[in-house]
Structure 1
């Protein structure tokens, strides 16, 4: 297809076939694997180079050039084959025979003579070992170069390590939250850090949504006592006389208490109307936000999300409009002059675990 400069760019596989010397060896192997669907097509009959027991199932087969000349490039030739056969690639930098091979020079010269007379049996025999050596080198390279892996980024070996670091390494933890596991891998450095900080949560949420976010700490709230924690004076309850009635140590007056450090507040915005509504219950961003925050902080903490709406995102109230009481309805006599920050979504940690 012609580009903006009105010059047609040939397909990559044709460029590799016609000009193999222009390609890096590892990138050429990766290109071949992608063309064969290795790592991306579950129905592909081919396996990654160096990871199978049958060379016929690998995407490319390596042949070594036995020449004694100085190699000007890593790849000498590339020949695409039919869809059910591996492509043929002749390499110059590795082989049992040739300038860099361990075979004695007289044997290499004899091999070159036989190849020049179209007798390829000896070279084909050596290529059984040459292919395996080159395949193992590709496999080792992939283990340390994530960019050479043809699998999706979240399915690579490095991704598996990151998932284990952040607590998602087992199959039972796979895709259990409203936010995708792949998205969380980006923040592995923040999730591994202990103790987790408000700045880390702020950075993660702001980066994920691409919005201004601030975290306010030590937001107090009322905490209800469990029935077994309430004070009972006198009477017989379960065979005991009273409960939690030791004055000064275990007695409570009432059924709840104030805890100043029980929660935190996320201030998100200013937001336009569409983004504002997406964070409300039922919106596309609501449950992923709960999942992300609950995964970062302990469920014993409560949190609230204060949604800050821009001036133009605060509509005038009209009967019959698509308004939600307490969420998207305002009673104003004059247009808003500043962003509105009245809407707050409160979430209790243990209750949020049932919805994320």
Structure 2
């Protein structure tokens, strides 16, 4: 246990201090940052696992635009001409939790075996250090720290595993949102499906035109149930009132028409107020399902609205969709009055066990976002 006003050092941090050469450089930086917690400029906060009352103030990410004094680690470069056996030479934790640790690296220094400056500069550097004159090293480490910090920053930008923010808030997450059509904050958090869960399917959502196979893959992965798309399911479309066929109208009627409209036989005339479109309908056959999973997709159930949001987000809303729920034949409940039976949804009138899976329950997904029962 830690003494009064002191923190307990986690075993991983202690191992990093005692044997830093066993750690990858980038992973060591990540461990140090997460041990302090991070405070991002965009308001994000990643806290460490310490007690909030005794934890140190959060650090700023290494290499970003924050105050370097608030970073979790301060880099210095080893000026030795010896062949480097590891990326990290040593690590010293600060005596106070709000101060950065000090890490000596064996790469990217201005002088030393891998430094860009002439060898004579390194020799003079080492000669002064032998006389206990560390002014040169302190001066060079101003630039060494910034160079190494920028390398950490660049590495994070191209390695998702090193990003300390939640994945959907990091740079890669913003790129994926842009691919999906959710690049601006005003377009996000408008669906019942969490935007973060859709990032997994950015590779499917970026394609135009989108395919039935892509919808099947995304649906099955997200909901964990079988689904297939049945295409070219005909559907009725209602005509707007101004598209109806009129043979004639008297003056003074609404619209002020004095003659007919949309009445050219074989061209614009339509008998009725709706028309049949064979290729505008798509049916999602979901299942076979257990009874518990079946109930989750009914109107008002947890998976109902996410089903609507995902389908309308993936495919243009001019299409009409129906979702057909397939219940396993051995899961069809017996008919009983009372209880939680729902007329038209979970009530089956039958005196014999069904011979096949039930496919009678159908949900219509309309383009205006309404869910109704046919």
TM-score w.r.t. length of structure 2: 0.86
Q: Shift in Å at residue 70 of structure 1?
A: 1.3
CA 1:239–1:309 in structure 2 vs 1: closer, same or farther (change >3 Å)? same
Counterpart residue number, 1:190: 204
Counterpart residue number, 1:334: 352
Counterpart residue number, 1:239: 256
Question: Does 2:228 match 1:224?
Answer: no
Q: Shift in Å at residue 110 of structure 1?
A: 4.0
Give yes or no for contact 2:192–2:309 (8 Å, CA) kept in 1.
yes
Q: Shift in Å at residue 42 of structure 1?
A: 5.5
Counterpart residue number, 2:135: 121
Please give the per-residue CA displacement for 1:112-145, whole angstroms capped at 9, x wherever unaligned: 3444455433312211110001011111222222
Pick from 65, 70, 77 the counterpart of residue 57 of structure 1. Answer: 70
Task: Supply the distance in 2 between the matched residues of 1:337 and 1:273 (Cα, whole angstroms).
Answer: 17
Task: Supply the distance in 2 between the matched residues of 1:301 and 1:107 (Cα, whole angstroms).
Answer: 72
Give the aligned CA root-mean-square deviation in angstroms. Answer: 2.1
Matching of residues 1-356 of structure 1 within 5 Å: 11-38=11-38, 41=45, 45-81=58-94, 82-116=96-130, 118-235=132-249, 236=251, 237-241=254-258, 242-352=260-370
Task: Supply the distance in 2 between the matched residues of 1:229 and 1:36 (Cα, whole angstroms).
Answer: 67
Q: Shift in Å at residue 188 of structure 1?
A: 1.3
Please give the per-residue CA displacement for 1:144-190, whole angstroms capped at 9, x wherever unaligned: 22221111111121221121111100111111111111111111111
Task: Supply the distance in 1 between the matched residues of 2:247 and 2:67 (Cα, whole angstroms).
Answer: 79
Q: Shift in Å at residue 20 of structure 1?
A: 0.5
Give yes or no for contact 2:60–2:67 (8 Å, CA) kept in 1.
no
Q: Shift in Å at residue 93 of structure 1?
A: 1.3
Give yes or no for contact 2:46–2:165 (8 Å, CA) kept in 1.
no
Gaps of 5+ in 1: 1-9
Task: Supply the distance in 1 between the matched residues of 2:140 and 2:20 (Cα, whole angstroms).
Answer: 22
Counterpart residue number, 2:6: none
Task: Supply the distance in 1 between the matched residues of 2:348 and 2:66 (Cα, whole angstroms).
Answer: 68
Q: Shift in Å at residue 198 of structure 1?
A: 1.1
Give yes or no for contact 1:52–1:58 (8 Å, CA) kept in 2.
no
SS at match of 1:240: coil
TM-score w.r.t. length of structure 1: 0.91
